[in-house]
Amino acid sequence: MKQIAVLSGKGGTGKTTIAASFAILTKNTIVADCDVDAPDLHMLLHPEIIKTQKFKGAKLAVIDEEKCTKCGLCSEKCRFNAITEDIKVDSISCEGCGVCTIVCPVNAVTLTEQISGNAYISKTKHGFMAHAMLNPGGANSGKLVTLVRQNAKILAEKEDSDLIIIDGSPGIGCPVIASVTGVDAGLVVAEPTMSGIHDLKRALQLLTHFNVTPFVCVNMHDINRDNADKIASFCRENSIEAVGKIPFNPVVTEAMVNGKSIVEYAPESDVAKEITKMWKKILSGLKYEGG
């Protein structure tokens, strides 16, 4: 089974448009939306949810007011300042570390598991999809990404699919690490800006660290050809395959407004043709013969 993650240094680089297009261009694939903080693949693939799992990502201290003697020890020892002077737990600040349960002399504090979000298994007209939504302020998005990836693997085995396409979280934090560990390849979508080049290098370092084959594409390369050339040179110098240069075209936004991926909405557009071409290059680079 091959797993391919589409990544970017920040949101809004066109990562989801590309991941959705790959999913539509490929037969019998499973899609995993691992951008659990701000998922938007569903807006292009329109999944019909068939299973929902509650995600318990965090623990919260709860104080039994009948037992509590208001000695203040828990408030004093909590290094996250999550217990107020009048001995109330601030649910946003509490990290669930459990120190208060240890120091309380009358066992008035317990830790309770909190629902931090939901994981979903869905059906789309292009195949099955694993995705999730973290509640606002919900903790442990990395663990939720891991759950989404486990669900995608189970689906792939059940549906006899040998390819998982992952729409990864942006950045290089914990959810991204959870998105790329164990994948075969990572496509980094870069913008031709100075910050885009910086983000690209960080994302590539992450892929190297996790021994993931990197591919690069530049989205809207024609908005700054000098920077696009710098990305191409950087890839050449570091033996990284630059698989595509996607032109700027307002039809991409039009497709999104209409809830469709670009390869469905405007298959003859220069953008759709470039995405199709780079997908073939990635699959061939991975020696994947399905699709």
Closer residue to ligand SF4 in complex, CB, 98/173 = 98
Between 51 and 90, how does the x/- string for binding to ligand SF4 read (CB under 6 A)? ----------x-x----xxxxxxx---x-x-xx---x-x-
What residues numbered 187-206 form the site for ligand SF4, per CB under 6 A? none
Closer residue to ligand SF4 in complex, CB, 92/194 = 92
Among 95, 110, 193, 232, binds ligand SF4 (CB under 6 A): 95
- Least distance in Å: CB of 70 to ligand SF4? 5
Q: Is 104 in the site for ligand SF4 (CB under 6 A)?
A: yes
Between the alpha carbon of residue 152 and those of residues 92, 128, 166, 189, 212, the distances in Å are 31, 8, 9, 22, 19
Q: Are strands 241-246 and 213-219 parallel, antiparallel or unpaired?
A: parallel
Q: Is 290 left (phi over 0), alpha (psi -120 to 50) or beta?
A: beta
Burial class (CB in 10 A: 0-12, 13-18, 19+), 51: exposed
Closer residue to ligand SF4 in complex, CB, 94/275 = 94
Contact in structure between 121 and 51 (CB atoms under 8 Å) = yes
Three-state secondary-structure class, residue 16? helix
Closer residue to ligand SF4 in complex, CB, 21/114 = 114
Between the alpha carbon of residue 228 and those of residues 173, 194, 208, 248, 276, the distances in Å are 25, 10, 22, 12, 20
Contact in structure between 13 and 195 (CB atoms under 8 Å) = no
Among 25, 109, 176, 207, binds ligand SF4 (CB under 6 A): 109
- Least distance in Å: CB of 61 to ligand SF4? 4
Which range binds ligand SF4 by CB under 6 A, 91-99, 140-148, 268-276, 277-285? 91-99
Q: Is 290 in the site for ligand SF4 (CB under 6 A)?
A: no
Closer residue to ligand SF4 in complex, CB, 73/232 = 73
- Least distance in Å: CB of 62 to ligand SF4? 9
- Least distance in Å: CB of 87 to ligand SF4? 5
Return the DSSP state at 221.
Answer: G
What residues numbered 217-276 form the site for ligand SF4, per CB under 6 A? none
User: Site size for ligand SF4, by CB under 6 A?
Assistant: 27
Q: Are strands 163-167 and 30-33 parallel, antiparallel or unpaired?
A: parallel
Closer residue to ligand SF4 in complex, CB, 65/159 = 65
- Least distance in Å: CB of 90 to ligand SF4? 8
> Cα(84)–Cα(171) distance, rounded to whole angstroms?
34
Burial class (CB in 10 A: 0-12, 13-18, 19+), 24: buried
Measured from the Cβ of residue 124, the count of other Cβ atoms closer than 10 Å reads 18
Amino acid at residue number 35: D
What residues numbered 120-179 form the site for ligand SF4, per CB under 6 A? none
Return the DSSP state at 222.
Answer: G
Which range binds ligand SF4 by CB under 6 A, 101-109, 116-124, 127-135, 274-282? 101-109
Residues engaged in binding ligand SF4 (CB under 6 A): 61, 63, 68-74, 78, 80, 82-83, 87, 89, 94-100, 103-104, 106, 108-109
